[in-house]
Chains A and B, each alone.
Chain A
Amino acid sequence: MKPLKIFFLAMLCAGFGLPALAQQQKLTMHINYAVNTPTGSFKSDLVSKTSFRGWNANVLYGVTDRLSLGLEAGFNDYYQKYPRQVYDTKDGAISAVLSNSIQTVPVMLKGRFNLAPSGMVQPYVGAGVGGNFVSYSQYLGEFAGSKSGVYFAASPEAGIAIPFRKHGASAFTLGGRYNFMPFSYSDNKNLNNWGLYAGIKFPLK
């Protein structure tokens, strides 16, 4: 849990100094803790458990007071261990405890549209498109086969930002997104998942 503690500590600390900055900042950074839940064949074939080990961060430039564009990077770790089971092979069988370990690191171009730029609560919608660095290991007992590569990723989102002060540039953010993540391993074709995130946004410039 240490990384999480550091995360929250950093969020708390970052929040203290922010109100002074305020006012129509052009360049903002967003750091979020993320929880993601596999869907579809990702859920049924590889990992059904929700990942509580994730984050995402982005830097957005305010093109207008509503539209901002930038870059986003994220990380999620998915893991599940299945009880011992006998798997049939061509001329025999393997009895093993099977573990799937998957890490996704999407790096995307990001756009976000603020629906109420001067509101106390500012709803927004957005989308990201880019590449997804995937590392997948399947363990039979302690023996792993692995596959890694770069795949496509797209991620529509919606959320709210609640400024710490009226008209302030720093805010608490809370959002949800769907992550389209094509992948290919055996019969599995994607790592699609739902994600919830919460964090802060603060100005850089």
Chain B
Amino acid sequence: MLTLAGIIKHLCLISVNNQKHTMKQHKIYLALTGSLLGIVLLGSCAKDPLKNMTNEESRIYITNYDSSAHFGSFQTYSITDSVAVISNGALQKRTLTATDAAFIQAVKDNMAERGYQLVANNEHPDLGINISSVFNNQTGVISYPSYWGYYGSYWDPYYWGFGGYDYYFPYVSYAVYQIREGALSIDMVDLKDAGNDKKIEGVWNGLIRGEAIFNASTAASQVKALFDQSPYISSNH
């Protein structure tokens, strides 16, 4: 930018000081100055929204739920003891880092606040909660319709005592986005009504996307945001 300013200044000084220059040259300098100016302004004037954004502001909290589900009909829940890491549609591993633990604890805190009782996964919980870190570099949507496509291979229904069942998520909404970033997905599935059709229905999903999601110190506030916008999750509802 400074170089360009220098060029413009130089052109101007020449046009002012050098009396031998013809009028024609003089005018060309002016036109050139104008053209350069136009290019500079056109290229650098726009304010970049991404550069004017904190990590907190970059994050979005998306919740989807089955509006026909009665959250008051559930009283107990269980949550997985680790976080599945899913990259490009495939399960990479399950982890329990300090951050993972913070997210699991945050979900427990919010569920307790909503009146649900935590039980072990083999004590017939009404609800099961899975947490997944999703990394994807090929989707172009805010929610991941494809994320649930192979869900049974990330979180085997066998864990919940329903071997051979499939998960089913009746809601999928999405919007187009332009960049790639990791996401944290929390899925709440209905184990109480997993019945004859061998389907475990997802009743709620919370998805967090944006910058610096995987941070133990902000896990609680991030999970709280998901629950705050989901007031229907309540054992008294």
Inter-chain pairs besides A17-B29, A20-B23, 12 sampled, C-beta below 8 Å: A14-B30, A18-B30, A54-B45, A77-B46, A90-B173, A92-B171, A94-B62, A99-B53, A142-B53, A143-B175, A143-B210, A144-B49
**How far is the CB of A65 from the nearest CB of chain B, in Å?**
20
Closest-CB distance, A140 to chain B (whole angstroms): 5
Residue from the list B26, B47, B52 in contact with A17, Cβ < 8 A: B26
A119 to B104, CA, bound (A): 77
Q: Does A16 contact B (CB under 8 A)?
A: yes
Size class of B's contact patch? 35 or more
Query: Residues of B contacting A53 with CB < 8 Å?
Result: 45-47
Does B109 sit at the interface, judged by CB under 8 A?
A: no
From residue 77 to 124 of chain A, which have CB atoms closer than 8 A to chain B? 77, 79, 81, 84, 86, 89-97, 99, 101, 103, 105
Pick the contact of B64: A7, A18, A75, A89 (CB < 8 A): A89
Contact B26 A141 (CB under 8 A): no
A103: which B residues are within 8 A, CB to CB? 46
The answer, yes or no, to whether B120 is at the interface (CB within 8 Å) is: no
Asked if B118 lies at the interface with its beta carbon under 8 angstroms from chain A, I say no
A148 at the interface (CB under 8 A from B): no
Q: Which residues of the partner chain A approach B34 to less than 8 Å between Cβ atoms?
A: 10, 14, 29, 31, 57
Indicate whether A95 sits within 8 Å of B5 (C-beta atoms), given known contacts A29-B34, A55-B38, A205-B27: no
Q: Mark B8-43, 1 if CB is under 8 A from A, else 0.
A: 110111011000000100110111011011101110
Tell me whether A16 and B23 are in contact in the complex, defined as CB-CB below 8 angstroms, given that A6-B8, A55-B38, A140-B60 are known contacts.
no
Which of B85-93, B130-138, B145-153, B177-185 faces chain A?
Answer: B177-185
Contact B61 A94 (CB under 8 A): yes
6 nearest interchain CB pairs? Answer: A13-B12, A143-B177, A141-B60, A92-B64, A142-B58, A95-B61
In the bound complex, residues from chain A placing their C-beta under 8 Å from that of B8 are 6, 9-10, 13
**What is the distance, in angstroms, from B172's C-beta to the closest C-beta of chain A?**
9
* A183 contacts partner chain B, Cβ-Cβ < 8 Å: no
Residue on A with the closest CB to B66?
A91
Please measure, in the bound complex, the distance between the C-alpha atom of A73 and the C-alpha atom of B41, giving whole angstroms: 12
Is A197 in contact with chain B by the CB < 8 A criterion? no
Cβ–Cβ contact B58 & A141, under 8 A: yes
A17 to B21, CA, bound (A): 12
Question: Is B225 among interface residues, defined by CB-CB distance under 8 A?
Answer: yes
B27 to A, closest residue via Cβ: A204
- With CB as the reference atom, state the residue of chain A lying closest to B46: A77
For this complex, 5 residue pairs linking A to B, each with C-beta atoms less than 8 Å apart, are A6-B1, A92-B65, A143-B175, A145-B175, A204-B30
Q: With both chains docked as a complex, state the minimum distance between the C-beta of A145 and any C-beta of chain B, in angstroms.
A: 5
Nearest to B50 among chain A residues (CB) is A142
B230 on interface, CB distance cutoff 8 Å: yes
